[in-house]
Structure formats: structure tokens, C-alpha cells
Amino acid sequence: MTRTYLIKPVLDYKYPAITHGDGIYLYDEKGKQYIDGSSGAVTASIGHGVQEVIDAMAEQSKKVSFVYRSQFTTESAEQLAKKISEISPGDLNWSFFVNSGSEATETAMKIAIQYWQEKGMKTKNKIISRWMSYHGITMGALSMSGHIQRRERFEPMLENYPSLSAPYYYRDADQRTIEECDDFYAQELEKEILRIGKDHIAAFIAEPMVGAAGGALTPSDGYFQKMKAVCDRYDILFIADEVMTGVGRTGKMFAMEHFNVIPDIIATGKGMSAGYTPMAAAIVSEKVMEPILKGSKIVMSGHTFSANPQSAATCLAVLNYIEKNNVVENSAVNGAYLKEKIRELAEASEIIGDVRGKGLFVGVEFVKDKLTKNSFDRALDVVSRIVQANFEEGLLVYPANAGTDGLIGDAVILSPPLTITKEEVDELVRRFAVALRKVE
Ligand code: PLP
């Protein structure tokens, strides 16, 4: 092949071509094997080549692959929505299907705004969000995101602006207890509400555990209860962005279950299709749907491919597979094992400052000096070097960036398929240790 017509993330980098996948492994055209230790972008959560899913895709394509959602419904879309209502907490019973996580958070944002409009409160249209967050790449989703690099070029067009801190105890709890940190974060939210005025705010959005912009930042058990109490006091909806954490990734079906808080809307994606098809959802509570059902009766959002029957059948097969094979439990058990093994590595390592996460969502933060927690010089680009060293060892890890200014917080996420076995975790850790030694 002399030239390419495909626009790739980095245009002058030669990407290896993957020929096939099997379980937690991917194989490239030269026969090199990789452990998919990041599940791509925290997506391939049941591994590659699962026969039940492939069969369900074939079955559905024999029936019908596409109908338009404003003309018809289908059995597969109805069944998927029912299944999601069964696995979701509280009264989060309604699903709006879209094609990507960005569309899911953006739909959640729009539904939150519409909820207040239907109740006659037309000025409640701002979304409060946190720095060190990522909610998606489309303009509405990006406007809520606290990911500096991804915002930078489009800043003049972004209407929302993140304003809060994310719980980053590794650094924030140096001088304070975790409880004091949580009080600070909740006060910050309250001050922001008072500054903007509660009549101008529709919702607060947060990732239960921060992914790309934090490296599996994990809040305390009490953090979300404090934040939700502030939201409730000022009549502000809470949207949980579970695009990365949803559907078993953290050892519970939804990560918010760890924190005993039921959101008003959940955005989910990635693991819900496990990468077998592009599909995501905004999952909406009865409370939020009620005024819409009584009012305009139309959720003002949607895409040509929303509720696509082919994708719905695929996701349904993924969710059935997860249930039948106790995949969420495996995520909890082998995730705890993975974290323990990485913590052992960290003790002997000069550069691992923090290991955090829940389930098979493990964040590893690198520092120049473990005592002072000083970060590496930017020019050293330690995250790229870690990712590259692992790549050479046949292990994929997901780069993440912590730190509000984008200047501190070099992290990676280990997030293999939730079906990984204990022996496969051992092999993943072995490869990670070899790569680490190359960088240290
Ligand atoms: N929200 C979170 C928490 C994410 O991690 C991502 C993607 O990484 C998104 C939203 C956007 O999802 P997508 O890339 O499918 O548009």
C-alpha cells in the first residue's frame, strides 16, 4: 500500500493493521499478539470474537437491519430498552438510544434542559461540570468537558464552562482529610450554584470515576452523597456520565451503585455494546420523563441511526452474555486482584505514585518523585513512553491525563476485557512490569 485515504489520529504514524481478535487478544498483520489491556478505549468489555454476539448479529440482519425510529419500532430495540431498565438502578426506566458516548451525554444535557422547560422553567439551561472530566467530542458534550487539550481549539464556541474540582485525593488530601476534601468539593458546587443562580442551572454532570481526564480518579464513599444533597437543595438534576464506567467496568453494573446515589439521568455507551456496534444511551428516570410525557411528548433529540435494530440486537446479546457469564462479578474479583498486583509493583517502582480504581478500571499515576509527588517534565512525555513501551511488549494501556491545568498528572488506565482470567491478569502484569523497567 503506497498511500492511505484514511484520516487517522496521528497522520504521520504508521498504525499496525489488526487482522483478528480472540478473547483478550488482538493480532496484527505480522502475527504479533497484543493483550487488549485497555479494551481499546475501555470498550471491548467482553473480549473479541464472542460467538453468541456474532450469531445475534447475523440473526437480526436476516430479519431487518434498519428502520427509521420515527416511523417504526422493533422487537430488538424494545427488548434492549426493557433490559436496560432492569439492570439500571432506581426508576431509571427509559432509554434514548444514540450512536456514541458524546451523543449520550449531549442527549442527557438536552433532556435535562427540556425537563425544566416542560415544567415552565425556561431559564434553567446551564450545566455545571468539573475540570478533569471528559464528556465527549461534539460541541455540546465538549462544552461540559474539563479536558483542556480537547477544548482548546474550539473554546470561543463552547457555551458551558467547567468550574468545579474533581476529587483528586492523591494531591488534594495532602493537607486535608478526605472528608474535608469532600466538604470543600460540595461547598464549591454550592458557591457556583449561588454565583450563577439556581434558576439558570438545569443539571450537574459528573463521571462517577474520571477516565480519560483523570486516570480512574475514584471518589470516597461519601463524595456523591454530599454533591447530590447540594443538587437536591437547589433543584438541580444530576447526570452521571457512565459512558466509560457503565455496564460492569468497575465491578458493579453501574459505578454509581458503589456510592449509593441514584442519578436522574445516566449516559452510557462503550461497554454496553462492548465494541461490537456503535451504540450508546441516555437512561432517563420516571421523574424526568413525567413532565415530558404530560407536555410536548417529544424528546427533542435523535439521529438517523438512533435505536437501530441491528445495533440493538447486538447490545442485547452483549448484555445477555454479561449476565449469563457473571461478567460483572469477574470484574470485581479480578479487578481487585489486578489492583493488588499493580500496588505490589508500585512499591518497588521509583515512578508509580498512585494506584486507584475499582473493578477492572485501574488507574496508575506516574511521578518524578514519589515523596514530593512532583510530575515529570512535559517534554519527557512520560505517558507516551509508558504506552509505547507496553505496546512493544504486546500490551495495550490507555493514556490518561490528570491535573486541572493539563500540566500535572501523568496516568494510564488498565482496563482489560471484563472476562479476563486470573492467569491472564498475571500475564498482563508481567508485561506491564517489563515495560515499566524500560522507562524507569
Ligand atoms: N463520556 C466519557 C466519560 C467518556 O470516557 C467518553 C469517551 O471516552 C465519552 C463520554 C465520549 O464517548 P464517545 O467517544 O463514544 O463519543
351 and 256 assigned to the same domain: no
Q: What is the pLDDT of residue 161?
A: 84
- What residue numbers bound the domain in which 290 lies? 53-324
Same domain, 342 and 309: no
pLDDT of residue 407: 59
Residues 90 and 151 in one domain: yes
One domain for residues 270 and 371: no
CA distance readout (Å), 172 to 163, 167, 179, 362, 373:
16, 8, 11, 19, 12
Instruction: Tell me if 240 CB under 6 Å of ligand 1.
Output: no
pLDDT for the residue numbered 378: 78
Q: Is the same domain home to 300 and 348?
A: no
Q: What region does 285 belong to: left with phi over 0, alpha with psi -120 to 50, or beta?
A: beta
Strands 201-206 and 237-242: parallel
Residues 43, 121, single domain; the answer is no
Work out the end-to-end distance of the chain between its first and last CA atoms, rounded to an integer number of angstroms. 37
Report which of 276, 365, 342, 352 is spatially closest to residue 313, judged by C-alpha positions: 276
- Closest ligand 1 atom, residue 241 Cα: 3
Domain boundary among 304, 324, 344: 324
Verify whether ligand 1 is closer than 6 Å to residue 37 (CB atom): no
Residue 420's domain is classified under what CATH number? 3.90.1150.10
- pLDDT for res 403: 61
Ligand 1 pocket test target in 38, 43, 99, 102 with most atoms within 8 Å of CB: 102
Residue 3 lies in a domain: no
Does ligand 1 come within 6 angstroms of the Cβ of 114?
no
Do residue 188 and residue 203 come from a single domain? yes
Decide: 102 in ligand 1 pocket, CB within 6 A.
yes
314, 333: one domain? no
- 210 and 312 housed in the same domain: yes
What is each CA distance from 203 to 22, 197, 199, 272, 325, in whole angstroms? 41, 12, 11, 24, 36
* Same domain assignment for residues 330 and 275: no
User: Which ligand 1 atom is at minimum distance from the Cα of 41?
Assistant: 8
Which of 270, 292, 324 finishes a domain? Answer: 324
- 170 CB within 6 A, ligand 1: no
User: Does residue 122 lie in a domain region?
Assistant: yes
Contact between residue 415 and residue 324 where contact means Cβ atoms under 8 Å apart = no
Residue 6 within any structural domain of the chain:
no
The answer to whether residue 8 is domain-embedded is no
Does any ligand 1 atom lie closer than 6 A to the CB of residue 275?
no
Which of 243, 256, 272, 398 has the most ligand 1 atoms within 8 A of CB, as the residue to mutate?
243
Phi, psi values for residue 88, rounded to 5°: -90, 150
Task: Report the pLDDT value the prediction gives residue 228, as an integer from 0 to 100.
Answer: 98
Whole-angstrom Cα distance, residue 161 to residue 45? 32
C-alpha 30 – ligand 1 centre gap (Å): 31
The verdict on the CB of residue 146 being under 6 Å from ligand 1 is no
Q: Ligand 1 pocket test: pick from 38, 39, 99, 134 the residue with the most ligand atoms within 8 Å of its Cβ.
A: 134
> Ligand 1: does its nearest atom lie under 6 Å from the Cβ of 129?
no
Tell which atom from ligand 1 comes closest to the C-alpha of 245: 3
Task: Render pLDDT for 31-63 as a digit per residue (tens, 0 to 9).
Answer: 999 999 999 999 999 999 999 999 999 999 999
Q: Is 4 part of any domain?
A: no
Closest C-alpha among 151, 124, 132 to residue 140: 151
ipTM over 0.95: yes
Binding site membership of 56 for ligand 1 (Cβ less than 6 Å) = no
In a domain, 9, yes or no: no
**CB of 311 shorter than 6 A to ligand 1:** no
The set of residues, in sequence order, having a beta carbon less than 8 Å from that of 279 and lying 6+ positions away, is 97, 98, 99, 269, 272, 273, 308, 311, 312, 314, 315
Residue 382 and residue 335 in one domain: yes
- The closest-lying atom of ligand 1 relative to the alpha carbon of residue 207 is 3
Which of 289, 324, 359 represents a domain boundary (last residue)?
324
Q: Identify whether the C-beta of residue 153 lies closer than 8 Å to the C-beta of residue 204.
A: no
Is residue 63 domain-resident? yes
Establish if 11 belongs to a structural domain: no
Name residues of the chain where pLDDT drops below 50. Answer: none
Q: What does the block give as the cell for 438?
A: 524500560
In a shared domain, residues 359 and 316: no
Nearest by Cα to 134 from 209, 212, 189: 212
252 lines ligand 1 (CB under 6 A): no
Q: How many domains does the chain have?
A: 2
pLDDT the model gives residue 160: 81
Output the domain CATH number for residue 214.
Answer: 3.40.640.10
Give the pLDDT confidence score for residue 381 in this predicted structure. 86
